């Protein structure tokens, strides 16, 4: 009986050990980031505080990493003494946070930083961009926003998405599909080149024409619509006379 009890205990412990050691699964995906990060990115800032609506300092631009109970105004901080509180700022209607504040509690490597009002900041979430500018050589791996060459993401939100297991699987699947399509296209082109090479003696110009778009054959409509070139204009014999009535 003692042996059977020992075996049962071991079987119950094994699944827990696998999760702790990071074998994969939803638990590992959630544990990659601090618990306050995703709620922070979903929060709406710069709105009026519901508790201190009568005060002129009721704009909510603070967040408590320990309580995670929503955006706070400056008057709410009295209830969060000795807590980790960060301040959210704005740039062009987008939420940002100073690098010297967020890097104390979060790894922001790979996220592009910007200097705004003499302070280096990072954006919280993705910012829409209609199309990348001309000459852009590097873009965000998630939203394709233009970036400097040394960065991978434009915001903290894009880093969460871009480093997730699900997103990485989609990237690998897309890359494999693209490689397969390119290989099929290469095989098709190779077969076409071999065919032209085989008939090179009888069709000397066919290989050259394959590199340029073919010219459509002329039709009867094209002859009808073609304009004749105008001849040299000649002055009428009586064109210089002025006729008066």
Q: What is the DSSP letter of 224?
A: H
Q: What is the pLDDT at residue 60?
A: 96
Q: What is the pLDDT at residue 178?
A: 66
Q: What is the pLDDT at residue 129?
A: 83
Q: Which of 35, 90, 33, 84 is nearest to 59 (CA)?
A: 90
Q: Which of 134, 153, 133 is nearest to 143 (CA)?
A: 153
Asked whether 53 and 80 are in contact (CB, 8 A), the reply is no
**Reported pTM:** 0.61
Q: What is the pLDDT at residue 214?
A: 31
Q: Mean pLDDT, consecutive 10-residue segments, the chain of 245 residues?
A: 46 39 50 93 95 90 96 94 96 95 96 96 91 84 92 96 86 72 60 49 36 38 51 55 41
CA atoms within 13 A on the CB side of 206: 13
CA distance 86 to 63: 5
Q: What is the pLDDT at residue 229?
A: 58
Q: Which of 34, 176, 50, 161 is nearest to 107 (CA)?
A: 34
């Amino acid at each position: 009986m003692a042996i059977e009890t020992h075996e049962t205990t071991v079987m119950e412990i094994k699944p827990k050990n696998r999760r702790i050691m990071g074998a994969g699964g939803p638990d590992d995906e959630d544990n990659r980031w601090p618990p306050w990060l995703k709620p922070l990115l979903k929060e709406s800032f710069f709105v009026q505080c519901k508790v201190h609506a009568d005060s002129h300092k009721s704009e909510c631009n603070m967040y408590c990493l320990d309580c995670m109970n929503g955006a706070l105004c400056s008057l709410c901080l009295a209830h969060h003494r000795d807590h980790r509180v960060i301040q959210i700022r704005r740039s062009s209607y987008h939420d940002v946070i100073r690098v010297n504040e967020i890097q104390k509690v979060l790894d922001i490597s790979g996220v592009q930083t910007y200097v705004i009002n003499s302070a280096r900041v990072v954006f919280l979430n993705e910012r829409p961009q209609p199309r990348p500018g001309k000459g852009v050589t590097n873009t965000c791996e998630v939203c394709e926003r233009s970036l400097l060459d040394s960065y991978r993401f434009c915001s903290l939100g894009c880093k969460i998405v871009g480093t997730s297991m699900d997103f990485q699987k989609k990237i690998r699947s897309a890359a494999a599909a693209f490689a397969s399509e390119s290989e099929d296209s290469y095989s098709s082109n190779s077969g076409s080149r071999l065919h032209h090479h085989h008939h090179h003696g009888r069709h000397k110009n066919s290989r050259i024409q394959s590199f340029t778009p073919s010219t459509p054959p002329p039709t009867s409509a094209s002859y009808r619509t073609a304009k004749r070139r105008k001849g040299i204009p000649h002055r009428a014999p009586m064109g210089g006379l002025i006729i008066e009535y």
